[in-house]
Chains A and B, each alone.
Chain A
Amino acid sequence: MSNTIEELEKQFQEKIDNEIKIEPKDWMPDDYRKNLIRQMSQHAHSEVIGMQPEGNWITRAPSLRAKKILLAKIQDEAGHGLYLYSAAETLGVSRDQFIQWLHEGKAKYSSIFNYPTLNWADMGAIGWLVDGAAIVNQVSLQKTSYGPYARAMVRICKEESFHQRQGYEIMAKMMAGTKEQQQMAQDALNRFWWPSLMMFGPHDSDSSRSSLALKWKIKRETNDTLRKRFIDKTIPQAEFIGLKVPDPDAVLQPDGSYKTGSIDWDEFWNVVKGNGPCNKQRLDHHKRAHDHGRWVREACIAFSEKQDKRKAIAK
Chain B
Amino acid sequence: MNNSDNQGPLWEVFTQKKPGMAFKHSGSIHAYDKNLAIEAARDLFTRRNEGTGLWVVKSENIIAVQPKDAESFFDPADDKIYRHPTFFEVPDGVKHM
Chain A interface (Cβ < 8 Å from any Cβ of B):
1, 23, 25-27, 72, 75-76, 79, 82-83, 86-87, 89, 94-96, 151-152, 155, 159, 297, 300-301, 303-305, 307
| A86 lies within 8 A of B7 (CB) | no
B66-96 CB contact bits vs A (8 Å, 1 = yes)?
A: 1110000000000000000000000000000
Quote the shortest CB–CB distance from A261 to chain B (angstroms). Answer: 40
| A25 lies within 8 A of B67 (CB) | yes
26 A-B interface contacts by CB (under 8 A): A1-B68, A23-B67, A26-B67, A27-B67, A72-B47, A75-B47, A83-B27, A83-B44, A86-B28, A87-B27, A94-B2, A94-B5, A95-B5, A95-B30, A155-B26, A155-B27, A297-B7, A297-B32, A300-B32, A300-B33, A301-B1, A301-B6, A301-B8, A303-B32, A305-B1, A307-B33
| B4 lies within 8 A of A96 (CB) | yes
- Chain B contributes a number of interface residues (CB within 8 A of A) equal to 24
| A300 lies within 8 A of B27 (CB) | no
Closest to A158 in B: B48
- The 8 A-B pairs at the shortest CB distance, nearest first, are namely A300-B32, A304-B33, A86-B28, A304-B32, A94-B5, A95-B7, A25-B67, A26-B67
Chain B interface (Cβ < 8 Å from any Cβ of A):
1-2, 4-8, 10, 26-30, 32-33, 36, 43-44, 47-48, 64, 66-68
CB-CB under 8 A from A151, the residues of chain B are 27
CB-CB under 8 A from A89, the residues of chain B are 10, 28
| A304 lies within 8 A of B8 (CB) | yes
